[in-house]
Amino acid sequence: MNESPVFTVRKGTSVDVPFVFNLIKELALYEKAPHEVTVTLEELVADGFGSNPIYGLFVAEQEGLIVGIAVYYEKYSTWKGRSLFLEDIIVTESKRGNGIGHALFQAVIGVAKERNSARMEWQVLDWNEPAINFYKKYNANLDSEWLNGKLIREQIQEFK
């Protein structure tokens, strides 16, 4: 583990969104898909902190800087009921290995526990060995049985 100053984890606020956006772009670069980030700062603020928030946010702060985030939202399983989906944990590259991801993951688990969620789910890319190993530390079920399906905005808009 690297020697690093203490960090804190707290609920995110709308003021944090520009820093959150930078971390989102950093993750997209890491995943070799910077062109895929199409969400705007305005959308992130409205969707997370508007009159009907659709995602929750934790931030990890160190020396006044946001060095990590966890984004999550509620989903529903017809078989299991209320569930929580962890969209992303992002820790800036220079701060990885210091327990920040662990603390963010624990914070989201806390929300799932508080809400009595039937399960907490997330996705991890099959080539992202550091992330896979991170989740294996929790004895998490990494399911290779299910395939991800999606329609992108253009497909949705073209649907008749």
For the question of residue 135 being annotated catalytic, the response is: yes
Please, which residues have CB within 8 angstroms of residue 80's CB and are 6 or more apart in sequence? 118, 119
**Annotated catalytic residue, options 30, 55, 73, 135:** 135
Inter-axis angle of helices 41-49 and 17-30, nearest 10:
120
Residue of 62, 104, 66 whose CA lies nearest to 86? 104
Task: Please identify every residue annotated as catalytic.
Answer: 135
